[in-house]
Amino acid sequence: MLFTVNRPTEEEMMRLYAGGELITERPDPLAQRKELCPAWKMAEHARTLDDLAQRGMKKGTLLDVGCFSGLFLGNARKRLFECTGVEPNEDACMHVRQAQRLEVFNGSLESAQFAPERFSVVSIQDVIEHVPDPLSELREIFRIQQPGGWRVLTTPNVKSLL
């Protein structure tokens, strides 16, 4: 496990994301360019959604925390999920709202203040390592997740080729 000593506060993180210091690529307004929808990422999303379907979760309410370009949300919507996103980067948030017409909250998961037990699936893919307090983030996920719902959580492997 790796961690940053003196982690930034939530306010500092939101300011960094809003200012663009942490994001080098920007979502394209057309969102259909091949480099934004790489085959490996599309296959990863298909496997995740297939896995949920095999476990009986074929539709429902899905929240993607840190949705960035909205690619996973778009793929989940094609599978009949009612999709919502949370994204700290304002440009990315606006892109998903305008290009994909999806509900996206600009900010952190906690600041979104979703109702308890609202979502049947909560996805947090390659995001948990960015949040100031991972345990609080997980507590919030459990609070807004419906009983019997599913969580999709991934995080990078620092020893991988990437």
Q: What tens digit of pLDDT does each residue of 19-52 get?
A: 655 555 554 444 445 556 788 889 999 999 999 9
Residue-by-residue DSSP string for 68-108: TT-HHHHHHHHTTEEEEEEES-HHHHHHHHHHH--EEEES-
At 157 the pLDDT is 74
Q: What tens digit of pLDDT does each residue of 51-61 get?
A: 999 999 999 99
Write the CA distances from 7 to 1, 11, 87, 130, integer angstroms. Answer: 15, 11, 19, 10
At 20 the pLDDT is 57
User: Which residues lie below 8 Å from residue 64, measured CB to CB, with a gap of 6+?
Assistant: 70, 72, 73, 76, 83, 84, 85, 86, 123, 124, 125
Domains in the chain, CATH or no CATH each: 58-156 (3.40.50.150)
At 131 the pLDDT is 86
At 110 the pLDDT is 94
pLDDT: which is higher, 105 or 158: 105
Q: What is the CA radius of gyration of the chain?
A: 15
pTM over the 0.85 mark: no
Mean pLDDT of 136-150: 96
